[in-house]
Copies of this chain bind each other. A is one copy, B any other.
Amino acid sequence: METLKNDLLLRAAKGEKTERTPVWVMRQAGRILPEYRAVREKAKNFVEFVKNPELAAEVTIQPVDILGVDAAIIFSDILVIPEAMGLPYEMLEKRGPLFPKTVHTISDLSSLHVSNSPDYQYVLDAIKLAKRDLNNRVPLIGFAGAPWTIFAYMTEGSGSKTFSIARSLLYNSPEFSHQLLQLITDSTINYLKDQVMAGVNIVQIFDSWAGILSPAHYKEFAIPYIKQICEAITTVPVIVFPKGAFFALNEFKDFPCQVVGLDWNMDPVWSRNQLGPAKVLQGNLDPALLYSSFDNIKSETKKMLNLFGNTNHIANLGHGVYPDIQADKVKCFIDTIKEHQRVTM
């Protein structure tokens, strides 16, 4: 049984009172760090980078050393799962992900399979290396995309402002949609269980495209599959980040996850009302604030901490950190949280 030197994140995720609010940053292992960019250059492209356990583990650790965050998050991509299921992707510079083949019909599904550890062994290897190098300093976060978000990429084939292909399938091919969502869900359950076996201490489910669905579609095509995943992951806390799904936030009130991530435009007090007193909230500073002055960052971060209150909160941005933000601005955000000792304890 491992004993973490800093287990603030895990205790906070379980709803325990902690001596201060823990903090990590979405996309902390990324282009904001010159040290990341140096490692990134060793791989010939993004997909190869993700598939290289040594390099992935190396950049996973960097923000712990450089930024002083309370957790590492394994460097990887949510599109590992479609590839593990049989649908490979590329990552184009400045344009984002591209799937040369997509799936649209029930017969297309025969080319896919429920993924298992051999399909994503490189992620498990990266987790083991990262755990070894973290040496119990802080917890390691595992993650996966939510089924709807993965479905959106597998059917649309790339990022999109409207995801109109993906959304039209929900209307026109509900049977296909549910079958594909179930395949993704089963794959994701295997994947997250294997991540836990490999050593992650907590997992986050990113529903990056939650916000473009109608409330009715989100209820039918997103919620039930996230729920299956949460119910299957019983040994570590689960964070769900339903990006943009303000209209469904109250659905997560009695949901089998410990933590709900919030966008920067979800008011903390409003969110608390939606989610009730027991849920742990994660977020949600406007990532654009980190373009601002150090003084501004400090005062707005303190304001945010006061709005969330002293318990049931994990500090983070309301979205991934923008890649052109200066690392010392991110550090200022993190340090402000770490220095904001709880006067009430």
Which of A's residues lie within 8 Å of B, judged by CB?
A: 162, 164, 167-168, 170-172, 211-215, 217-218, 246-247, 264-267, 270, 286-289, 291-293, 296, 322, 324
Contact = CB atoms under 8 A, between A and B. Distances in A.
Given A162-B288, A247-B246, A286-B167, A265 B212 contact: yes
A322 to B, nearest CB: 5
Contacts of A267: 215, 247
Contacts of A265: 211-215, 218, 247
20 contacts: A162-B287, A162-B288, A164-B287, A164-B322, A168-B291, A168-B292, A171-B289, A171-B291, A171-B296, A172-B291, A172-B293, A172-B296, A213-B265, A214-B264, A214-B265, A214-B286, A217-B286, A218-B265, A246-B247, A247-B267
Given A162-B322, A296-B171, A266 B288 contact: no
A291 B215 contact: no
Contact of A247 (B213, B217, B270, B286): B270
Contacts of A293: 172
Contacts of A266: 247
A59 to B, nearest CB: 22
Contact of A172 (B172, B215, B218, B292): B292
Given A164-B291, A168-B292, 13 more contacts: A162-B322, A164-B288, A164-B322, A164-B324, A168-B291, A172-B291, A172-B296, A211-B265, A214-B265, A215-B265, A215-B267, A246-B246, A247-B265
- Give the copy number: 2
Nearest to A159: B161
Nearest to A270: B247
A203 B265 CA distance: 28
B171 A288 contact: yes
Contacts of A296: 171-172
A250 to B, nearest CB: 10
Contact of A292 (B171, B211, B218, B287): B171
Contacts of A164: 287-288, 291, 322, 324
A51 B171 CA distance: 38
A246 B245 CA distance: 10
Given A214-B264, A265-B211, A265-B215, A288 B168 contact: yes
Contacts of A247: 246, 265-267, 270
A113 to B, nearest CB: 29
A128 to B, nearest CB: 34
Nearest to A288: B167
A270 B246 CA distance: 12
A268 to B, nearest CB: 10
A171 B286 CA distance: 11
A182 to B, nearest CB: 22
Contacts of A218: 265
A161 to B, nearest CB: 8
Contacts of A171: 288-289, 291-292, 296
